Amino acid sequence: MDGPVSSDDLLDILGDTEGRALLTALRREPQSAKELASTTDLSLPTVYRRLDKLTTRGLVDSTTEVEADGTHYQRYECSFDEAVITLTTDGFSTELSRDGEAIDSGDVGGQSN
């Protein structure tokens, strides 16, 4: 991940139906934007907007794939496999992990979403 995603950002993203659909599809297998649009029944512009948000916040990784004819495209993959949200007396805290190792955490003191 590029940097920690705040608990606010993570909770907002998880509250977005389209964002959750993309994360779920990418958790199953890496896909291109075109494949994601087909898998999730979302428009391609919607997929690209959500992917931009997800990659900027480090929740999705992308790699460039090159075809035999020289054409290239981005393939996206979910960068975590577990999200833990904890409510404490100070607010919400979140932790992301992949393969059992923590990769990100954030705190939202005194805020509720």
Decide if 95 is inside a domain.
yes
What is the span of the domain harbouring residue 48? 7-66+73-109
pLDDT tens, position by position, 28-50: 999 999 999 999 999 999 999 99
Decide if 56 is inside a domain.
yes
Predicted pLDDT at 113:
36
DSSP 91: E
Decide if 2 is inside a domain.
no
pLDDT tens, position by position, 48-103: 999 999 999 999 999 999 999 999 999 999 999 999 999 989 988 899 999 888 88
- 4/31: higher pLDDT: 31
Decide if 104 is inside a domain.
yes
Residue 12 sits in a domain whose CATH number is: 1.10.10.10
Decide if 23 is inside a domain.
yes
Q: How far is CA 3 from the centre of its chain?
A: 13
Decide if 59 is inside a domain.
yes
* Distances from the Cα of 53 to the Cα of 12, 48, 88, 110, angstroms: 11, 9, 27, 25
Q: Cα(14)–Cα(19) distance, rounded to whole angstroms?
A: 7
Q: What is the pTM of this model?
A: 0.83
Decide if 27 is inside a domain.
yes
Decide if 1 is inside a domain.
no
DSSP alpha helix (H) spans, 1-113:
7-14, 17-28, 33-40, 44-56
If we measure between CA atoms, which residue out of 51, 46, 42, 104 comes closest to residue 78? 51
Close Cβ partners of 64 (under 8 Å, ≥ 6 residues apart) = 72, 73, 74, 75
Q: What domain count does the chain have?
A: 1
Give the SS3 label for residue 76: strand
Q: Cα(94)–Cα(42) distance, rounded to whole angstroms?
A: 28
